[in-house]
Chains A and B, each alone.
Chain A
Amino acid sequence: MFAKLFLVTLLCSSMSSYAESVDQLKSSTDSIQQSQPSVAAKQDSRLKSILSDKQKNSTPMQQDSDLNTNQKPSMIDYCRKNTC
């Protein structure tokens, strides 16, 4: 009887985990589908994201000897301050 109860509990727990993972899979599939617009829209948003990246990462000009910054550095920052 005790063993039966244990098996039923185990089965319920497995089913609940399975349902949860199906939900997660569905939500990630939805988000992937949402993040695949047409080629033109994708390029447009990409350019926008590049521009916003440029804005976010830009800092006032400094010489290469004192480039320490608290912002996340990037090649864009680096090449705005150095020859590259």
Chain B
Amino acid sequence: MRSKILSNISAVFFSFYAINAVSSPPHWHYDEQSTWWAIEDTSQSIPLLYPYAECGVGKRQSPVDLAAAKFNDNKPLNRLAVLYDTDTPTFYNNGHSIQVNTSLDYSGGLRIGEESIPLIQLHFHEPSEHVINGQHFPAELHFVHINEDGRIAVLAVAIETGNENPAFQVILDNTPVQEGEQNANSGIQLNPAALLPPQDHDNLEYFTLAGSLTTPPCSEGVQWYLLSEVITISTAQLEQLKNFYTNNARVAQDLNGRAILSNK
């Protein structure tokens, strides 16, 4: 009951920030991330004057340094399964990263225990946002799932350089170079599951922790699932990714006592 109340309160705050951000989100850049919290929306007055305040005052921010965490693998955790199928998505250059939006009738999602949460989009960061002892992976892929009350679960996959990734090449080849442009009618089919490590997709091994969006408004209440295995892209593909966006990663945030749970 208590957790339900807390979750509802968090959803209300989440909606508040979402609504606020949707109505008039001021521009932001990765090179000024230490002051995201202070960016003003001059069309609003206090407290809405600072729509990204949570980036500065939040205590459960993402990403984090996994090496700094206390791990707890004794708690029984939900089984995590991906139920992705083939889609005809939209390839979108959102001005901060390359993004793939699922089609409006897409039925694929993430199953966490008994709950299924639809996949809305996936996008890439270069280098990785989550780090281990300060060390980045070359890139990171985020699968963003959102349920009807606005709660978000992100499945994060670290990317190493190695074998070429055909599914990633489809994304690189179909994403517009121009900021803000989308490629909605390519007719190109993509199964997001092709971007996952070759492990049992019905029972994924993961680390999980409570966190936030890694971009403004840095809203908290996001549940992160970090896969224990990585995927690879070729060095040439990494260079292609950098040609779109490079250094589009938020620095690791304080854990503030958060434990990371694992089902490994």
Contact = CB atoms under 8 A, between A and B. Distances in A.
Q: Is the interface of A mostly helix, strand, loop or mixed?
A: helix
B18 A78 contact: yes
Given A75-B18, A82-B215, A84-B144, A61 B118 contact: no
A43 B114 CA distance: 9
B193 interface: no
A interface, size bucket: 20 to 34
A49 interface: yes
A84 B21 CA distance: 11
B interface, size bucket: 35 or more
* Interface pairs A-B: 6 shortest CB-CB: A73-B22, A63-B180, A75-B150, A61-B182, A83-B215, A75-B18
Interface of A: 39, 43, 46-47, 49-51, 53-55, 58, 61-65, 67-69, 73-84
B2 interface: no
Given A46-B148, A83-B97, A64 B27 contact: yes
A77 B146 CA distance: 10
Interface string B143-166: 010111010101000000000000
A54 B146 CA distance: 10
A73 B121 contact: no
Q: Which of B23, B97, B146 has the most CB atoms of chain A within a 10 A radius of its CB?
A: B146
Contact of B116 (A43, A64, A81): A43
A74 B150 contact: yes
Nearest to B216: A82
B105 to A, nearest CB: 6
11 contacts: A39-B114, A43-B114, A51-B105, A54-B106, A61-B182, A63-B179, A64-B25, A73-B22, A73-B23, A82-B21, A82-B96
